[in-house]
């Protein structure tokens, strides 16, 4: 059995606190790591492409992935910046606006790329 001050036990306790969502005291100059609660059915997931989009030949894969998320009970919104016909999905200002809107919307629980 491990002694109370055994480094292995200390690391295990720290890992358990992190998994439980407790923040450890960060190193000086660092922010604590925060872990969001797991997604649950009914949560809203946003899909956007902040760089290159999805070519038409792969659109069916996105449709299957979105359908799978919905089948698991998640609500899904697919952004407009998904065009894969060029090297970027949309003008930079549009991509930044859409990503920022999703990241700052309190109803959106996760933002994922395609």
Q: Looking at residue 110, what is its pLDDT? A: 96
Query: What are the CA-CA distances from residue 5 to residues 15, 16, 17, 19, 23 (Å)?
Result: 15, 16, 17, 21, 20
The set of residues, in sequence order, having a beta carbon less than 8 Å from that of 81 and lying 6+ positions away, is: 48, 49, 50, 53, 89, 90, 94, 95, 98, 99
pLDDT digit string (tens) for the chain, length 114 residues: 555 566 665 666 666 666 655 555 666 777 777 788 899 999 999 999 988 888 999 999 999 999 999 999 999 999 999 988 888 889 999 999 999 999 999 999 999 998
pLDDT at 80: 92
In angstroms, rounded to a whole number, what is the distance separating the alpha carbons of residues 42 and 56? 29
Coil vs helix vs strand at 74: coil
Residue ranges per structural domain of the chain: 1-33, 44-112
Q: Helices marked H in 20-91 — which ranges?
A: 59-71
Residues 6+ apart with CB under 8 A from 15: none
């Amino acid at each position: 059995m491990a002694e109370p001050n055994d480094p292995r036990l200390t690391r295990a306790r720290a890992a358990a606190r992190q998994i439980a969502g407790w923040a450890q005291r960060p190193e000086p100059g660092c922010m604590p790591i925060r872990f969001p609660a797991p997604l649950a059915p009914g949560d809203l997931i946003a899909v956007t492409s902040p760089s290159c989009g999805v070519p038409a030949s792969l659109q069916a894969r996105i449709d299957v992935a979105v359908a799978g998320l919905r089948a698991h009970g998640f609500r899904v919104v697919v952004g407009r910046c998904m065009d894969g016909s060029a090297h970027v999905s949309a003008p930079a200002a549009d991509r930044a606006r859409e990503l920022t809107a999703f990241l700052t919307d309190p109803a959106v629980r996760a933002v994922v790329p395609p």
